[in-house]
Structure 1
């Protein structure tokens, strides 16, 4: 897909450090399981296509599904600027439309990142997005970890009262509930990772490249370590259908 008339070259790797860490660690977790040969990927609610373009740069064929046309326009722009427009496709629709838009077995990998905490029925959405996933294919689910909030309030904000409030207030569905939903849908072999185990707790984040490179290596190493992954900023589930 092509769109003409763009004068700037968006850079995937010029996000703010915390954003870049989220993308980098999530990708590192996923690559532990993903076949390196070209895979067919569906990025549900993929927005501006940053994750899609990163995967396309590795040789995978990626379809971004999102209801926001402006975001899809940005995804195409980014793909063109990184010479992967031939491997990135966009479809303007919602997650629940996936079973009607795609055939069973159309994809080897489905990404469902930062979506489930916005919907009323996570099970309905998960059922829809795995419909075009082939048996043996991978599902990647990323979302905010509710167990991070009290730690952040106490350690970073120095506010134990707020930490207590977060323990008793409304919280997103616990990770265990999502794992149970996945099992009911026939998606098992779930591996849990943490994304940004410590970075959000630092009093400040230096922009020194050497420091950021060391922090990135630390975060990747911690992603599968207990107990650090349990209180990471984001949970990351990688499962096989």
Structure 2
């Protein structure tokens, strides 16, 4: 079966999926169980949930949007994994109204912290849903990537405003309520009891390279994917990434 995260449209998520797939495989080896329980909070229409289910895992998606959950149900059915994907309406702050504590091998918290009222609570809840030694995959908007993008677009005042704004916003019309540096994200997760195993820069180049170049130049897509993967773990590039990814392990003893 072909990797469902590799088409052109998946360019922006390929690095995260590769890291997550490796983490799932490692968790299988660690637990000795072929089927893991995965929680995807804020999982929307299943960009990661459906591929995880393709690997044979049970995935619960918690999302506040009924439309997203409907799209998830349809997508899972089309992929033939509807028996392994469950959608539940809810959010990160009220996570334990719809999901049990200490019950999941892997928790995904992607694109959530930008929008919650209190990111620290969101992180604590995500970690609280993990079983001992469970794995958290955290993905959030990066400050540096937004500053760079505004500057390259010629919006220098907005770039400077984002650079100095506590929430990393470039203006009142900015659609993203909050952005983070790598230090801010790792600080949040370590304060909540997570051991940080890796930090990745995501969409370091993908948002800056003209789409026509990737689509028309032979081999350009695969070369760009390899470049993104090579730069992802290098701290020098974290400060210009559009998104930041933290992978960590819950530290309490089993």
- What interval of TM-score do these two structures reach, taking the shorter chain for normalisation? 0.7 to 0.9
2:38 corresponds in structure 1 to: 41
Counterpart secondary structure, 1:63: strand
Q: Which runs of 5+ in 1 are unaligned?
A: 1-11
Q: Which shifted more, 169-178 or 183-192?
A: 169-178
2:96 corresponds in structure 1 to: 99
2:199 corresponds in structure 1 to: 192
| 1:31 is aligned to 2:21 | yes
CA RMSD after TM alignment: 2.2
Report the Cα distance in structure 1 between the residues aligned to 2:130 and 2:62, rounded to whole angstroms. 14
**Structure 1 residues 228, 146: CA separation in 2 closer, same or farther (over 3 Å shift)?**
same
2:108 corresponds in structure 1 to: 111
Report the Cα distance in structure 2 between the residues aligned to 1:62 and 1:184, rounded to whole angstroms. 27
Match of 1:218 among 227, 232, 244: 227
1:17-166 map, 5 Å: 17=8, 20-34=10-24, 35=26, 36=28, 37-154=34-151, 156-166=152-162
Report the Cα distance in structure 2 between the residues aligned to 1:120 and 1:190, rounded to whole angstroms. 26
**Structure 1 residues 230, 32: CA separation in 2 closer, same or farther (over 3 Å shift)?**
farther
Report the Cα distance in structure 1 between the residues aligned to 2:47 and 2:211, rounded to whole angstroms. 25
Report the Cα distance in structure 1 between the residues aligned to 2:157 and 2:94, rounded to whole angstroms. 43
Report the Cα distance in structure 2 between the residues aligned to 1:102 and 1:45, rounded to whole angstroms. 13
Counterpart secondary structure, 1:119: coil
Question: Contact 1:179–1:190 at 8 Å: present in 2 too?
Answer: no
Counterpart secondary structure, 1:108: strand
**TM value normalised by structure 1:** 0.85
Question: Contact 1:22–1:196 at 8 Å: present in 2 too?
Answer: yes
Report the Cα distance in structure 2 between the residues aligned to 1:205 and 1:232, rounded to whole angstroms. 21
Report the Cα distance in structure 2 between the residues aligned to 1:183 and 1:113, rounded to whole angstroms. 17
**TM value normalised by structure 2:** 0.81
Report the Cα distance in structure 1 between the residues aligned to 2:98 and 2:148, rounded to whole angstroms. 41
Question: Contact 1:197–1:219 at 8 Å: present in 2 too?
Answer: yes
Q: Give the Å deviation of 1:204.
A: 4.3
Q: Give the Å deviation of 1:98.
A: 2.3
